[in-house]
Structure 1
Amino acid sequence: MRLFAAVIPPQPAVTELAAALAPLHTLPGADRLRWTEPTTWHFTLAFLGEVDEALLPGLTERLARAAHRHPPHTLRFARAGRFGDKILWVGAEGELTTLRDLARSTAAGARRAGVEADGKHPFRAHLTLARAAGPVHLGAYTEHLADFTGAPWTADRLALVRSTLPASGVPGERPRYTTVASWGLGG
């Protein structure tokens, strides 16, 4: 099964961000963006890839320990950014050191359970909003969100999420995410 560990924002924060994004859907090139669904929004802490189901008990035990070692912390959506002209994202402000430490603990726990976390990129708190499906200059989108700062919310759970990739071959179909397990932060 294909897995990742994440912090999932609460519904009021998701609703607020979705409202801030609504005007972006009318910008030139918006039809060439594959917008992520608000119901799937998350901050990936560690991408685990394909995981043998036999490793799941050890993995969940290690992730539970990681969750309990870090306190709930305050975040808010803030500023947009882009990875080239391919991915549009929104970042976070707040207790980012705690979030970064949680990401490190999550990846370390996964490795101890025999699951190799993707270590190609250093952790950067971002939530993917859209992926370009053709040539789009994302600068206009990041400029529109440059001053956006959402209301504070509490990150209080670590989630292990299964990602099921589309199998139908229908263009634009998105992966399905299912929470396998979650743990409250703090001890």
Structure 2
Amino acid sequence: MAVLPPPPRLAEIGAAVDELHALPGADRLRWAGRDDWHLTLAFLGEVAEPVLPDLHDRLARAAHRTPPFALRLHGGGRFGDKVLWAGVAGGTDALRLLAERSDAAARRAGVPMEEHRRYHPHLTLARSRSGADLHPYVDALAGFEGTAWQTDELALVRSRLPVSGVPGEAPRYEVVGRWGLGE
């Protein structure tokens, strides 16, 4: 489940990421595809086909109970030496609540979920397999301030894992459901 920032907001962070590509070692990072940028709310893993109708109903209710809220992409950070991300500011409490409601909806629909972790809103920009020093990239993103947007929908996003065997190929994401917030 995810929130999808609008294309103009993704273009803003895209311009900042373009500048990151000029930093030493950028070619050793596996950059996330821009068409796939999203704010993950909860990761579902494999979902059995018979569970989908109930999951869709429950996600619709979770979205209905959550009013629209403002977000913006802001700064950057890292998870250890493996993941570089853009941060999120604005209605992060509302975003966390939507993440909790989405997680609960999936659990109640019978989707086996990973152990519950504290939600940390972010947009993944790049990954490193070699444990690259991500500090210069985080420092370069420190002053990034995106324009706010009104978050008004919850999306169910399916991950299509690579099947070609090409090294470095990334998963592709497909939106398979959308529900308006507060509707």
Alignment of 1:45-56 (within 5 A): 45-56=41-52
CA distance in 1, matches of 2:15, 2:132: 22
Structure 1 runs of 4+ with >6 Å offset: none
Percentage identity across paired residues of the two chains: 56
Q: Does 1:115 align with 2:111?
A: yes
TM-score (structure 2 length as normaliser): 0.97
Are 1:154 and 2:128 matched, yes or no? no
Corresponding residue number in structure 1 for 2:57: 61
Q: 2:5 aligns with which of 9, 13, 22?
A: 9
Query: CA offset at residue 127 of structure 1?
Result: 0.7
Whether the 8 Å CA contact 1:88–1:131 is kept in 2: the answer is yes
Query: TM-score, structure 1 length as denominator?
Result: 0.95
Asked if the contact 1:41–1:127 (Cα under 8 Å) also holds between the matched residues in 2, the reply is yes
Give the one of 80, 83, 87 matched to 2:79.
83
Whole-Å separation in 1 of the counterparts to 2:99 and 2:126: 23
Q: How far off its partner does 1:177 sit?
A: 0.8
Q: Deviations over 1:17-51 (max 9, x none)?
A: 10011111011110110000111011111101001
Offset, 1:176 = 1.3
SS at match of 1:50: coil
- Unaligned 5+ runs, structure 2: none
For residues 59 and 116 of structure 2, the distance between their equivalents in structure 1, rounded to whole angstroms, comes to: 20
Aligned pairs, how many? 183
User: What are the superposed Cα offsets for residues 58-104 of structure 1, whole Å, 9 maximum, x if unpaired?
Assistant: 00000000001001110000010001111000110001111000000
- 1:118 CA drift (Å): 2.8
What letter corresponds to residue 8 of structure 1 in structure 2?
Answer: L
Matched, 1:137 2:133: yes
Which structure shows the bigger proportion of residues in strand conformation? Answer: 1
1:168 matches 2:157: no
Q: Distance in 2 between matches of 1:135 and 1:116?
A: 30
1:177 aligned residue? 173
- Say if 1:28 and 1:120 are closer, same or farther in 2 by CA, change over 3 A: farther
Q: State the 1:121 CA deviation.
A: 2.4
Code of the aligned partner of 2:141: L
CA distance in structure 2 between the aligned counterparts of 1:119 and 1:135, rounded to whole angstroms: 25
Structure 1 unaligned regions, length at least 5: none
Separation in 2 of the partners of 1:142 and 1:186? 35
**Cα RMSD, aligned residues only:** 1.0
- Output the CA distance in 1 between the equivalents of 2:91 and 2:22: 33
| Letter matched to residue 128 of structure 2 | A
